[in-house]
Amino acid sequence: MTSVASGVARKKKVTFSSILMKVSMVLIIAVAVYWLGLNLTNDPKQFAQVTVNGLNNGLLYALIALGYTLVYGIIELINFAHGDLFMLGAVFSFSVLTEFLGATGPSSKNYALLLVVLLLTMLFCAFINVSIERLAYRRLRNAPRLAPLITAVGMSFVLQWIGLKWIGSNPVNVNTVLPSTDFEVAGIIIAVKTLIIFAVTVPLLIVLAFIVNKTRRGRAMRATAQDKDASRLMGIDVNQTITFTFAIAGAAAGAAGIMWAQTTGTVAYNLGFQLGLIAFTSAVLGGVGNLYGAVLGGIIIGLIQSYNDGLAIGPGQRWSQTMVFTILILLMVYRPGGLLGETAQEKV
């Protein structure tokens, strides 16, 4: 009798807390929707403008988030150094394109150089990412989870130091090769840069999705992510597959780096920490390990940040970071699996 009673009591308790969770989640979403609706009715033009700006950043976040998601998907490691890899990509592109090749200002020759340096930066970042994996993470693959995570944090510091020595402690202005012109569509100003970001990132995302979903290598990646031992038995070279994953993750970070340097026009050594966290939040929002989730998450975070910074009725730019981290924390509480992922909550 007593055991039945206690069982009933326990069940009741769980439902109460889950109701509380659901109600508070609905409340938070309602507040967010109300806030956006208020701004939309207040000034629709500005809202659309801010949305365009948000998409611009969101695509870059998506590129960085891809790296997190790929690496987490395959070895379940939050690669803290990934944001700093992106920073090194930005710094590298600045050094090569702006300083070494002297490509400043829009011209057809400079566009060609931009494409060449884009490839170089992607190679550079892929190389660094693969070396980090080779030197550090690979040796820790069977170690307790704390060890690779702390190593990643340490690597992030090392990369930041390289950036610091490379360009100094002050932000550096980049003379961009992209045109600073813009045009108007229905009263909304759209920069040409934004279109170029679309033109570069969307094909990259499609190529990445193709690699992961359609190629032999991609299949090996997905198999390794599911079960390393089983894939080894099926004849997959697990080490090589992981190296390949780090390479494409690095390449995506490099592409994001050069596009960031060219569109925002500044590069700083501590860029990677902030953007890395934003990108990671994007990856978690979409469902870490899910490729499309990372893209979706990146765009959503870009939009939210843009709304926060740009809308007339809103917290304003000084709360930008707080906004992103609050989303991260709320996600962890309400939906650790993300929007597109399955719930990865571990029972304790």
Binding site for another protein (CB under 8 A): 76, 78, 136, 139-140, 142-151, 153-161, 164-165, 273, 277, 280, 284, 318-319, 321-322, 325-326, 328-329, 332-333, 336, 344-348
Q: How far is the CB of 277 from another protein (least distance, A)?
A: 7
Phi/psi at 289 (5° precision): 100, -15
Q: How far is the CB of 167 from another protein (least distance, A)?
A: 13
Q: How far is the CB of 66 from another protein (least distance, A)?
A: 18
**Nearest residue to 264 (alpha-carbon basis) of 137, 174, 139:** 174
Nearer to another protein, 172 or 178 (CB): 172
The 3 state secondary structure assigned to 209-266 is HHHHHHCHHHHHHHHHHHCHHHHHHCCCCHHHHHHHHHHHHHHHHHHHHHHHHHHHCE
Q: How far is the CB of 283 from another protein (least distance, A)?
A: 11
How far is Cα 112 from Cα 129, in angstroms, rounded to an integer? 26
Query: Please, are residues 325 and 285 in contact by the beta-carbon 8 Å criterion?
Result: no
Place of tokens 């891809």: 66
Nearer to another protein, 234 or 332 (CB): 332
**Nearest residue to 274 (alpha-carbon basis) of 326, 321, 308:** 321
Q: Using DSSP, state whether 191 is helix, strand or coil.
A: strand
Q: How far is the CB of 157 from another protein (least distance, A)?
A: 3
Q: How far is the CB of 147 from another protein (least distance, A)?
A: 5
Q: Using DSSP, state whether 79 is helix, strand or coil.
A: coil
Nearer to another protein, 184 or 346 (CB): 346
How far is Cα 129 from Cα 137, in angstroms, rounded to an integer? 10
Reading the block at residue 177, the tokens are 């090769």
Nearer to another protein, 109 or 145 (CB): 145
Q: How buried is residue 235: exposed, middle or buried, by Cβ count under 10 Å (0-12/13-18/19+)?
A: exposed
Nearer to another protein, 147 or 189 (CB): 147
Nearer to another protein, 226 or 322 (CB): 322
Nearer to another protein, 1 or 9 (CB): 9
How far is Cα 136 from Cα 284, in angstroms, rounded to an integer? 24
Q: Using DSSP, state whether 173 is helix, strand or coil.
A: strand
How far is Cα 336 from Cα 329, in angstroms, rounded to an integer? 9
Q: How far is the CB of 25 from another protein (least distance, A)?
A: 12
Nearer to another protein, 132 or 251 (CB): 132
Q: How far is the CB of 45 from another protein (least distance, A)?
A: 28
